[in-house]
Structure 1
Amino acid sequence: MTTSLNRWYARWLVRALLLLGRRQQALEQIDAQLASDKGNLHALATRAHVLAEMGDKPAALQTLHRLVEVAPGQAAGWFNLGYLSEEMGELEQAEAAFRRATEIEPKLDRAWYGLALALIRQRRFDEAVPALRKNTELQPMSPYGWYQLARVHVDRQEPEEAVKIIHHLRRFEPKVAAQLVRETGLGQTQT
């Protein structure tokens, strides 16, 4: 009972410090938690988030590596590792992390999208298509996956596929469809 009460209080204190904008003090509290409980997943995830917000992305990345070592079966940790890795230009590491997240949780649409972005940045367009299709299957009303899928089809010299997506987007995201028309010159006429 005392351990769970102490954990609750420590989490509450960290939240309060973060709400007050006192990130360094929050980080000190998190590190104190980890000193006594190295496997505290919540503390590890929070530490990575706070470090990234403070601009120390290498330390955040290191913390995320610790998190996935401690909890290799949690998709969220792998997703966060992939997200930060992709943001830092560590594309192969991002790809591997996103792939692991999708293996653990196949319905994690954000991980499919992240995987696609990592592949696109590596100019591996053929491999990005299935990831984007899975993302749009899981999130059919989100324009992000559709937009990237249309762009990939343009890069693959498949303008007719991009036009189909533009027409599809016009039904629920006309601004995104218009942006694709401006960027690609495709789908100028509405059918």
Structure 2
Amino acid sequence: MTALHRRTLLSTAALLALGAHLPARAARVGQPAPDFSLPDTSGKTVRLADFRGQFVVLEWTNPGCPFVRKHYESGNMGATQKLAREQGLVWLAINSTETMSGDYLEPPKLADWVKQRQGTPTAVLMDPEGSTGRAYDAKVTPHLYIVDPQGTLVYAGGIDSIPSARVSDIEKATNYVKAALGDIAAKRQIAQAVTKPYGCVIKYKT
């Protein structure tokens, strides 16, 4: 075997190993949202398909992230969740942090953390293997998506327009999710269906 042949085989193996951690086809706006089945913080299995016929907001979260804390500790995330649920939407908060990360919280502690900050999601789901996060190509926390009643992804991006961890920036920012909720309530297409998410890189299992 020549040196060139060995290098080619090693490069191919490296690419295959990398590919094993990437989604075969990440979700995109306008395409079907990948179904998933995850346990909530009480151990109950929740499937996206259970909510077919309703709009569903997916929120990637991690309490160890200052950008997540900005929106929860200010009450902004809870208020946005409450607005969505008052409109009849389902809100699923998903934590894809791997168990070996210092940011990982056991399910009961995560549930308490959200509740203490007036969070009102329909459910908080655990994705420590990262399979659902990777299927959606979720990159940061918070990273948000909206799925329509037919199961199509209609929004992907950030919660708002100012990428900072400062609470004082919330009132100056455009809340993209609230704007999308307004479009949904008015039965019109979401005006800004793709925006740039910001936050902490998700601590996926490697």
TM bucket by the smaller chain? under 0.3
**TM-score normalised by L of structure 1:** 0.21
Q: Relative to total residues, which structure has the larger strand share, 1 or 2?
A: 2
Mark the structure with the bigger radius of gyration: 1
